[in-house]
Structure 1
Amino acid sequence: MGLKRTDEFREDAVRIALTSGLTRKQVADGLGVGMSTLNKWITAYRDTDVVSKEDLGLAQENDRLRRENRILKEERDILKKATVFFASQKP
């Protein structure tokens, strides 16, 4: 029989899932719960005050910045490879 999770545990799990920057899989694995369980909790608590609008906004901005940073790093790596390639083509 599974361990009964407290409301506080569920709320903390939702807070972590929505604001930590970790994937839901990482959060679920880290907390020892299934993905479907975590997703069910997120659906149940998403529109409550478990996560303040400000914290949620900051988390969304962090996600956007992480994506932008990843793209910039990929572009930089491509430029580095191109520079090395073209430098090797000189007679």
Structure 2
Amino acid sequence: MSRSQPPYTEEFRRQMVELVRAGHSPEVLAKEYGPSGPSIRNWVRQAEQEGEARADELTAAERDELKRLRKENRQLREEREILRKATIFFAAETDQK
């Protein structure tokens, strides 16, 4: 069974959600743009759920900072290891004299 109308694009759904959040009624939007009121309400509900799911994800700035901090941490570990080996080396040299 084929649909009489192709599915709405993600951009169109996003625009409907924004209009509902701006105060427009789903029923008024349904009459004006075509999808049913319940469909628009479902899109809004899905957008809210996705927003909650994404709330714990990192922003681009946070990802950049995390990348920078991991690099810095790796460098500090390498420097600490070099200093540890140097300490062992010089302690051994001092004991031999």
Q: Which TM bucket (shorter chain)?
A: 0.3 to 0.5
Instruction: State the TM-score, normalizing by the size of structure 2.
Output: 0.43
Looking at CA atoms only, which structure, 1 or 2, has the larger radius of gyration? 2
Higher RCO (C-alpha under 8 Å, 6+ residues apart): 1
Instruction: State the TM-score, normalizing by the size of structure 1.
Output: 0.46
